[in-house]
Amino acid sequence: MALDPGIARCMSTLVHAVAYRSCLPIDDPASLVDVQVPTPEPAPHDLLVRVRAVSVNPVDVKQRQGHDPKGEARVLGWDAAGTVEAVGPDVTLFGVGDEVYYAGSIDRSGTNAELHAVDERIVGHKPASLSFSEAAALPLTSIVAWESLFDRLALTTESTGTLLVVGAAGGAGSMVVQLARALTGMTIVGTASDPRSQRWVRDLGAHQIVEHQDLVEAVKEVAPGGVDCIFSTHSAGNVEAFAELLVPFGRIVAIDDPEGLDLMPLKAKSVTWHWELMFTRPLFQTADMVAQHALLDRVAKLVDEGAVRSTMTKEFTPFTASTLREVHEMVEGGHTRGKLVVSGF
């Protein structure tokens, strides 16, 4: 099948991207470098997107630190907002010129490039009320939050009880708080360590804010009857605390990567433990993969209605390796609120 003329025209050029070639400390200038890469060849269901802004997530850092590309230039980035430049022959959900936002898939080249190919089934229409930079803060964490709350924990608009959000000021926690407040009847308790983060979490919709240091004591002060569900970004060392705080038959969803996790303290209460990886659907091409398109469109509607807001806290320009190294270093520190966005392509 012949390529769409727009795709053929785009593919004739090299584009600017930021990549890494080996696993180096972020203060090494070679840890992220500016490169020229061919425009990707879109698959039948792909959109070719001109990227306008990206955000940096912990997964970017983990990939850069732990997955050696052995000298090849690997492009990171799993959050973007931009404009559709061309479409594959089987695309039905979008057209050229549409403004989109998405998180992509970890098994494909990332969004830190001027032009990027992505399967339409995991792409949403950008919230009309947001700039590209504000929108780029949302896709990955929106998918994580939505799948955690509604697919893993099986919450609904009728759900009541108490939800503990561990790490509520971070990117994913910020979206869990907002979506739980907008779409469920849960009482939300968020953990945050400093006054600025605590104000941030409260402004996003948490009913109660507690500190991390003595989790059990702090949570019991505001939820003496225990909690029904936990969203965890920090599971290592917390399983016994979770077991004490949860009511019988409680549920946990975790998104972190703790080594050697012992879940036996949860057995007495018949607690259910879920993992959430937002890349599972695109990685395995699941039959319901298009659910990510639908949920991103739903989140965009909530944003445009004023029920959910962007979690961008700082924007960096221009789009260069130097800028991305600065942002990676901040994300590595583990104390950022919301999301850090890079624009200026």
Q: Which candidate, 106, 110, 108, places its Cα nearest to that of 80? A: 110
Task: Domain ranges for the chain, please list them.
Answer: 5-138+284-343, 141-275
Its pTM stands at: 0.94
Query: What's the pLDDT score for residue 257?
Result: 92
Cβ-count burial of 106 within 10 angstroms (0-12 exposed, 13-18 middle, 19+ buried)? middle
Task: Spell out the alpha helix ranges (H) of 150-284.
Answer: 171-183, 195-204, 215-222, 239-245, 280-284
- What six digits make up the tokens of 169? 């000021």
5-138+284-343 maps to CATH 3.30.310.40:
no
Strand partners, 190: 165, 209
Given a cut of 50, the residues of the chain with pLDDT beneath it are 1-3, 5-7
For residue 89, the model assigns a pLDDT of: 97
pLDDT digits (tens, 9 = 90+) for 175-212: 999 999 999 999 999 999 899 999 999 999 999 999 98
- C-alpha 7/C-alpha 194 separation (Å) is 49
Superfamily of domain 141-275: NAD(P)-binding Rossmann-like Domain (3.40.50.720)
pLDDT value, residue 9: 52
**Quick count: other Cβ atoms within 10 Å of Cβ 36?**
13
Residues belonging to the chain:
345
Cα distance between residue 75 and residue 36, in whole Å: 11
What pLDDT does 130 receive? 98
- Give the closest residue to 223 by CA, choosing from 201, 249, 245: 245
Q: What pLDDT score was predicted for residue 12?
A: 58
The reply to whether 5-138+284-343 and 141-275 are identical in fold is no
C-alpha neighbours within 13 Å on the C-beta side of residue 191: 21
